[in-house]
Structure formats: C-alpha cells, structure tokens
Amino acid sequence: MNISLKLLILFLLLPTLNCQKSSPELQENPYSDLVATHPSRNANLYSLEDSWEKRIYPLDSQHRDYILKMNLIDKFDTDPIPDSDLSLFKSQLSQISESEPLELKKLKDKHLLGIYFCKNLGGTGLTGFVYKNNKVIGGYIILDSDLLKLNANDWAKYKESTIYSPNSGVLRMVIENETGNSPSSTLEFILNHEFGHIIAFTHDFLPDLSLKYRDFSKFEFSGSTWKSESETIYDKDVFPLRSQIHFYSENSKLTIANHSLEIYSSLENTNFPTLYSATNPDDDFAESFVSYVHVELQNRPYQILWNHRDDSVLSYQNGIAHNRCAKKRKLLSSVFQN
C-alpha cells in the first residue's frame, strides 16, 4: 500500500475515530458513577410481597450512604438522621393508596420498592434506582419527614416562591381544594413526583442515569426539547429567563412583581407543564408525570396566582391539559394503558 493511499484511509477514518470518543456536545452526567456502582441498586435487597404503601422503612445505613454521596455531588452539607416514628406516614400512605387510581397503584406495586423517611435530607425527596441485569426495574424514594408538615397549597407556594428574592411580591398556589388541602396531599404530590423519576427509566422515557454521557435527542419524550442536561430549544428566543430560574435559591435577583408575567408567559409558549419541569430533563419528566396524575387522572387543581406590579392579579394553569403539552400527555397516557 503506498503512502498516499494510507493517508487517504487515515483521513477517512478520522471522523469515525473521533465519534468513538465521548461526544463533546454532550454534557457529562455527574451522577453516573454513583448510580452505576452504589450497592442500593441491587434488586435482591427489595421485596414485592407487600403492596407499595407497606414498603415503608426508617432510613438504614446503606440508603443513608447513598444520600451522603448524592449530597456531596450536589454540594449539600447535611447529615441525614433516620426517623423511627413512622405511624403518621403509614396512615397517610394507606389513605393515599386507597384513594388513588387503580392504574397508578398497579404501577407502584410493581416499581416502587421502598419508601424511607429521615430528617435533614438536604431536600424534600430523593430517588434511587434499582437494577436487574443492568436494567432499571424500579426504585426507592427517600423523604424528609420534617418537610412534610405543610398543607399542600402552602408547600406548593413555598416551593414556587424560592425562585424569587424574598418579600418581592405576593404569590399564591392552589393545588388542592379546601377539603383536600392537607399534609397528606403534600406527601402524595411529592411522592408521585419522585415516582415519576422511577417511571422515566423503567419505561425508557429518558437515557439511563448511570450513563456518563446521556443523549436526550434519541428519546421521544426529550428529543424535541432538550439539547443537553441543561440546554433547551427555548433558551434563546422563547424563554430567555429560564437560565436564571433556580429553585431553593438564596440569592435570586428575580422578583414576583417584576418578572412573574414574563416567566409564566414564556412558559406558556413551551411544552413544560410547570416551571419546575423547565429546570432539567429529569424533572421535566417527573413534573409531567405528577401533573398528568394530579390534573388528568385525579381532576385536581393546579393554579398559580400573583400580584403584578400594577396590583392586578394574574394566573397560570398547569399546562398538561393544554395543546402545547399534547405530545407529553399522549406519551404519559400510554404508561397507564399497559
């Protein structure tokens, strides 16, 4: 083989060789090593004998270790403590199971392998994933019992308000009517959001969290929206403020009076049903899932009201029932038909 031909072959092979390396346009997933190697992923640790609401446990050392390592990645400095008094939560979970749609209960019986309670978690909830033959078959949820004392509307208001600077205006949320506005409803909403994270992987809606580089373009749920772990098709022209939205922020410069109208008006031009769903692909699915359950299956309200700078009261409705979320609604409906 002459030198010219060798050079030609090498030139033709270069694009292929480059493609075999980690794609530079894909952001590295910081959770991949933890999810791929942590012992809590082992399916042999869990049992499906009881129905989902009875799989409730105080935090053990193995799942506590998962929290500590996850919080280290997220730069949370917390020391979770097991909560041994689970009587209230057992009662609440029993009520939730009795009243929820049968299709949802069947999914939880199959895929929700454990619910653990602790204090000082570092957030409201955390989800872990359980594998068998390198496939996600279910997951477990860890909840902070100290953060489950607010009524549903107060909790939702608190969470939504954290993207704004303190005392920057009046915001109200309604995710339950008066009779259903209770801490039990708060627990149910949070639980269904976290369970959505599990369904995202058991049903292949998103790339596996154990992958170092996740290509969202190859998945029907995320492909038309998410360019990477943090970039969307809407960022430049439709929703320029999205990059400034950080829940539980302590130094936000956004104010309710001055920015809410632009934020929620922009949101209505996307396929995100809630503001939290616009933060990353994983919470996009989890929020879409809980929105579908809450609004479509359970016919419950989800409305945000705020005072604009001229003191007029403006509102935003969860988008899952609207045309802009029709594709997500169709995909989610398939979960409950199988």
HEC string for 221-289 = CCCCCECCCCCECCCCCCCHHHHHCCCCCCCCCCCHHHHHHHHHHHHCCCCCCCCHHHCCHHHHHHHHH
Looking at residue 122, its pLDDT comes to: 87
Cβ-based neighbours of 150, under 8 Å, separated by 6 or more: 158, 183, 186
Average pLDDT over residues 323-332: 98
Dihedral angle over CA of 114, 194, 188, 63, nearest 10: 30
As given in the structure block, the two tokens for residue 75 are 């730069």
Residue 213 in any domain: the answer is yes
Looking at residue 15, its pLDDT comes to: 47
Average pLDDT over residues 75-96: 95
Residue 249 in any domain: the answer is yes
pLDDT band at 289 (very low <50, low <70, confident <90, very high): very high
Average pLDDT over residues 22-44: 89
Domain count, the chain: 1
pLDDT band at 148 (very low <50, low <70, confident <90, very high): very high
Average pLDDT over residues 70-86: 93
Residue 251 in any domain: the answer is yes
Q: Of 12-26, 100-114, 146-160, 282-296, which range is least confident?
A: 12-26
pLDDT band at 20 (very low <50, low <70, confident <90, very high): very low
Q: What is the pLDDT of residues 89-146, one digit of tens each?
A: 999 999 999 999 999 999 999 999 999 999 999 889 999 999 999 999 999 999 999 9
Q: How far is CA 219 from CA 96, 325, 332, in A?
A: 32, 16, 14
pLDDT band at 17 (very low <50, low <70, confident <90, very high): very low
Q: What is the pLDDT of residues 157-193, one digit of tens each?
A: 999 999 999 988 899 999 999 999 999 999 999 999 9
Contact 138, 110 (CB under 8 A): yes
The pTM assigned to this predicted structure is 0.91
pLDDT band at 338 (very low <50, low <70, confident <90, very high): low
Contacts 24+ apart (CB under 8 A), 205-210: 205/285, 205/331, 206/281, 206/282, 206/285, 208/136, 209/29, 209/31, 209/32, 209/35, 209/129, 209/282, 210/32, 210/35, 210/36, 210/129, 210/131
DSSP assignment of 94-157: HHHHHHS-HHHHHHHHHHEEEEEEEE--SSSEEEEEEEETTEEEEEEEEEEGGGS-S-HHHHHH
Q: Which residues are 56's β-sheet partners? A: 115
Q: What is the pLDDT of residues 267-283, one digit of tens each?
A: 999 999 999 999 999 99
Answer yes or no: is pLDDT of 4 > 70: no
The 3-state DSSP class for residue 199 equals helix
Residue 304 in any domain: the answer is yes
Q: At what angle do helices 87-99 and 183-202 cross, to 10 degrees?
A: 70
Domain that holds residue 266: 32-335
Residue 335 carries which side chain, given as an amino acid letter? V
Instruction: Give the mean pLDDT of the chain.
Output: 93
Looking at residue 9, its pLDDT comes to: 41
Residue 319 carries which side chain, given as an amino acid letter? G
Looking at residue 89, its pLDDT comes to: 98
Cα separation, 100 vs 300, in Å, equals 12
Q: Across the chain, how many H-helices and E-strands are there?
A: 10, 8
Contact 184, 151 (CB under 8 A): no
